[in-house]
Structure formats: C-alpha cells, structure tokens
Amino acid sequence: MNLNITFRHMDHTPALDKIIRDKSEKFLKWLGPKTDIRWTCWREGIDFCSEVTIYSGATEFFAKAHDDDLYKTFDQVIHKIQNQMKK
C-alpha cells in the first residue's frame, strides 16, 4: 500500500495519522496490497473536509465529505467508497 496523507489549514498529528492508517487498512482488505490511497483533510470555515482517492490497478474510487466533526468525515468517505465498490 502506498498511502499519502495531506492536511491543509490544520495540524497533522500522530493520532490523526494513526486513525487514517487504520481506516485505510479496510481498503487493502477489499482491493489488495497494490493500492495507492491519497487522503486530504482540511478545514473550511467551521467544517472539516476529507477527500480520498484510491487507485487499484485500472480502478479508481473517489469520495469527499464535509462535517463539523473530522472523525465523522473519515467514516463518511469510507461508506461512500464502499457504495462505489458495490456497483
């Protein structure tokens, strides 16, 4: 797995980094070890935003979420990616 985590307008803490790494493990179970994952998190006014792009072979998935709780955005993007995989 190649994981790239970017934070804009907020601190990149070890705790956030660990949570994102743990959440990304789910993608590996579904897509295999040759998966590239790009997480971007930022603050937009009072909301937090998370965006995930996943490349696995010729397949690409993308999800974006906004919420007043950063941790909720992590779960929301994972749920959106899961729905894309079902199609």
CATH number, domain 2-86, options 3.90.190.20, 3.40.50.880, 3.30.160.100, 3.40.640.10: 3.30.160.100
Task: Give the residue among 30, 53, 31 at the shortest CA–CA distance from 41.
Answer: 53
Q: 86 pLDDT exceeds 90?
A: no
Q: In the chain, what percentage of residues exceed pLDDT 90?
A: 76
Tokens 């660990």 found at = 18
Average pLDDT over residues 2-9: 94
Q: How confident is the model at residue 31 (pLDDT cuts 50, 70, 90)?
A: confident
pTM for the model: 0.89
